[in-house]
Amino acid sequence: MLNYKITIQYDGANYHGWQIQPNGRTIQGELTRALSLLDHRHVTVHGAGRTDAGVHAEGQVASFLLERDCEPSYLRDAINGNLDRDVRVVDVEAVAESFNARFSARLKTYRYQIWNGPVISPFFHRYAYHRRNDLDTREMQRAARLLVGTHDFSAFTVQDSEIEDRVRALKRLDVQREESRIIIIAAADGFLRYMVRTIVGTLIEVGSGRRAAESVASVLESRDRRNAGAKASACGLTLMRVDY
């Protein structure tokens, strides 16, 4: 058996997220189907991050074992030949047996895009959340700085999560404006479910003046999901890269 690592890009608009589900197309499901056809057996695919329905990826990573010894370029083209055009494997490499796309990951970086203006460009409507009212990015950045570090992020995930350890090291949280686009970059050793989208939703409330930037610290300290903002739309979120 040979262990392979692949890097995948996808438009998540037409998928029910990464993880295989009994009803609905998923990215993991499509990759499993394509690889099982190639290896003539069921292939288990491990993903670095379980992106939600509607979330995109420019640098998702997955790993799997194959019985076949394939040249990376041949395997890339063979997988892509069995996928729809909104999912593409862009890189393949053989890796050590110990490598696992999920458990070997050290840092994950997400980007969230907000189109802040009266009319959203048709080239961004699938990949950005449209916010017509002006947002104060300086205040959003001030709030963002209060979340950077190693904290219990219970306030920014689902209330009934079964995960016991909710401590994550948020290495970076930047808010930048590029004309009509507001770009939020979040990098951490790992993310809880809806964590990035809930952080973004809270920052949007800060930017719109609905809450003070300083209040984000008390939200974090409370560990109570009810104190944070509503999670932002999935369409604006993209998994950019995974570092090992």
The residues with which 162 forms a beta bridge, in sequence order, are none
User: Distance between CA atoms of 94 and 5, rounded to whole angstroms?
Assistant: 6
User: In the prediction, which pLDDT does 115 show?
Assistant: 98
Is 52 designated active site?
yes
The whole-model pTM stands at 0.95
Are the beta carbons of 61 and 91 closer than 8 angstroms? Answer: no
User: In the prediction, which pLDDT does 38 show?
Assistant: 94
Residue 216 has pLDDT above 90, yes or no: yes
Match domain 2-95 to its CATH number in 3.20.20.80, 1.10.10.10, 3.30.70.580, 3.90.550.10. 3.30.70.580
Are the beta carbons of 34 and 92 closer than 8 angstroms? Answer: no
Are the beta carbons of 127 and 113 closer than 8 angstroms? Answer: yes
pLDDT band at 69; cut points 50, 70, 90: very high
Residue 116 has pLDDT above 80, yes or no: yes
Topology match between the domains 2-95 and 107-243 = yes
pLDDT band at 160; cut points 50, 70, 90: confident
Pick the catalytic residue: 11, 52, 91, 152? Answer: 52
Sorted by sequence, the CB contacts under 8 Å of residue 114 that are 6+ apart come out as: 128, 129, 130, 131, 135, 181, 182, 183, 184, 200, 204, 236
Question: Residues 93-108: what's their mean pLDDT?
Answer: 97
pLDDT band at 88; cut points 50, 70, 90: very high
At the second CATH level, the architecture of 107-243 is: 2-Layer Sandwich (3.30)
User: In the prediction, which pLDDT does 22 show?
Assistant: 87
Torsion angle, alpha carbons of 50, 12, 128, 120, to 10: -170
User: In the prediction, which pLDDT does 163 show?
Assistant: 80
Question: Residues 32-46: what's their mean pLDDT?
Answer: 96
